[in-house]
Structure 1
């Protein structure tokens, strides 16, 4: 496909995403199936442009005066790709498979391309209805935080110390030019290609043999700050596919007992193969059985026994917008309210497993106070036996890096908030509480 044909395809795909309100990945997959002539390079370039357009949907629509599929893609070429008017016009020449030529209005809009007078939600490329929530967290810096969330996410790996040291992983992946993470001593970061495509790490021997896992550095930090005790009893209550479970297992050096549970069998399904590949022999997966309240009975024997309970709570995912840019435009206020209710219920359920002197770690990949500090404040009101651990104490699990992380992140009495702008990670909120009685 020519660059102009790829541009036409991106406009077509954007039209389907906007009208059908389906995940971008599903629409792109269907497009690929119906256009078998498109090679892997064409599909990668198309995907990159579509995701960039979703990242910059508000700002691209603003400079173009509307959010039609064509306007969004053209505006993205100007804002995200840095193409000037003539370069965009050369792609839109009306030839076979190319978009129609630019109108005079489009030329003028692309030439001006100013966001100077745009409101914060436009400059930050997030939904208008979230502006008040983000303003309560970031104040006047909310647009800048949003802009960082509209950038492409890097590819981060976590070295699995159950299989080898960081130096070993760095050597085995040297052809990918990995660089050490800024905060996590176990992180390696690999640069993306110019079109945003990540190298196929999952076919690398280091991955297949369990030496490395794909995991954002922020997620790694959440597990490190939780500080699972070596030889202790730990419950990962919302284990999902096992990302943090595996990180906890390695931090425990394979000692003690780590229980992994999730109330959704589909989310939990990948964990079995991943645990085996990682060599995490201290992990015991507890799968839910039955329906309703009976599903929790598989954990009854753990009540009051855990040194650490980790709740990686289901959330709106606002901190992962770099990786899932279409999700922010499909998100609705009702979803936030539902998540807040669900998080409170999970926290209440988690409390019964923590022994006196044990800790409860609450983690979200959200930036919103409703899902973060507000949840912690409400929880300790309902459960006065729990006391928040100050972030200044929690970061000591990272040593000297922890001091620098605390300065970079947004510190609240209830926990620490990581963001792409501040820590160059996905957005994560990490709160620790100790049960005093």
Structure 2
């Protein structure tokens, strides 16, 4: 397929997302099934166009005077992919699979600039109602944070040190030109390409099949390392999901001690069994959800890790469609769940134990605010100093902007080149 046909397909996919209210991934898969002539390169390019359009939907729509799929895709092609507008419009006229040629108004708008009085939430490419929360989290830098959250993410891998070294992983993936991550000592990264660049399919690589590495954002690797799980400890991973952080904890503990992996959703937990086997993680006991599944652990854990259910605002680069679906009602639901699970997690800690609270959110309601509320009702807990945790995990000083007002750690694309994550470690008095 040539570019005009790819643009037309991207418009169709976005229209499908808009009219049928389904996730982008499902719409792209359906388009591929219905258009089997399209090759892997075509599907990658169309996916990039769709995701780029959603990442900067607010600013592109403001510029074009419309948030229609056509307007968004044209803005991506010309403003993000640097296509010449007149030449692109001419190519449309010569291609039966192309969109209609650009109108005079579209040509004028797409090469223009947003006015000086453009609303800040549009510049940040975030929903208007959530802008005050992001500003509260990041102060004067909040617009820059939003803009970086609208970029493309890298593909990051975590070396499974139970089976391989980072050098071995880099060598096995040499054809993809991997780099070492800037913070995680076990990470490997492949930066996002431009335009129609394809993301490497590393899950078919021999190293992945042998358990040498896992796909895991560097931010997730960082918060797992900050959790500081030690060999021989008794650790409860209370929201284990598919097991990404469970596997990182098992490797950090050198398969010594015991990790209890639990999730209230049986379906989310299902993939963990195969992943544990492939990774050679032998110190993990999976607890399937049922009444009283964890009662025998109460008051016995050295460490409880809570990777809390959240809005996922920290993953907007990877799932930009969720940015525009987020609602005050969903935020309220998640914050209620987080408050309850913090109290639940504390029940399993022994005196002197550590409660590790993690979210993939950038919103203070889900992060510092939760810690303030928890500490108010649990005076026997105190937050551990972020600078000391960072130094111990990475042998370097923490960036001052990463530390939050409530002794938390906030990772973002702008600050750390990662997805958005929040971390806070709370020590229970002995």
TM-score, with normalisation over the residues of structure 1?
A: 0.95
Is it true that 1:332 corresponds to 2:327 in the alignment?
Answer: yes
Q: 3-state DSSP class of the match of 1:210?
A: coil
Count residues with an aligned counterpart: 429
Please say if residues 59 and 115 of structure 1, whose CA atoms lie closer than 8 Å, have aligned partners that are also in contact: no
Q: 3-state DSSP class of the match of 1:285?
A: strand
The aligned counterpart of 2:379 is: 384
1:110 CA drift (Å): 1.2
1:116 CA drift (Å): 4.0
Q: Distance in 1 between matches of 2:268 and 2:115?
A: 41
Q: Distance in 1 between matches of 2:404 and 2:335?
A: 21
The aligned counterpart of 2:419 is: 426
Q: Distance in 2 between matches of 1:36 and 1:388?
A: 54
Q: Distance in 1 between matches of 2:181 and 2:341?
A: 32
Please say if residues 368 and 404 of structure 2, whose CA atoms lie closer than 8 Å, have aligned partners that are also in contact: no
Q: Distance in 1 between matches of 2:199 and 2:33?
A: 22
Q: Distance in 2 between matches of 1:115 and 1:431?
A: 40
Q: CA RMSD in A?
A: 1.4
1:163-178 aligned within 5 A: 163-178=163-178
Q: Distance in 1 between matches of 2:231 and 2:346?
A: 21
1:196 CA drift (Å): 4.0
The aligned counterpart of 2:276 is: 275
1:183-198 aligned within 5 A: 183-194=183-194, 195-198=196-199
* Greater displacement, 53-62 / 162-171: 162-171
Please say if residues 32 and 38 of structure 1, whose CA atoms lie closer than 8 Å, have aligned partners that are also in contact: yes
The aligned counterpart of 2:84 is: 84
Q: Distance in 2 between matches of 1:286 and 1:397?
A: 31
Question: Which among 311, 316, 321 is matched to residue 316 of structure 1?
Answer: 311
Please say if residues 54 and 326 of structure 1, whose CA atoms lie closer than 8 Å, have aligned partners that are also in contact: yes
Q: 3-state DSSP class of the match of 2:71?
A: helix
Q: Distance in 1 between matches of 2:260 and 2:321?
A: 33
Structure 1: gaps spanning 5 or more residues: none
Please say if residues 201 and 207 of structure 1, whose CA atoms lie closer than 8 Å, have aligned partners that are also in contact: yes
Please say if residues 41 and 198 of structure 2, whose CA atoms lie closer than 8 Å, have aligned partners that are also in contact: no
Q: 3-state DSSP class of the match of 2:426?
A: strand
Q: Distance in 2 between matches of 1:380 and 1:46?
A: 48
Structure 2: gaps spanning 5 or more residues: none
Q: 3-state DSSP class of the match of 1:73?
A: helix
1:92-171 aligned within 5 A: 92-93=92-93, 95-114=95-114, 116-171=116-171
TM-score, with normalisation over the residues of structure 2?
A: 0.97
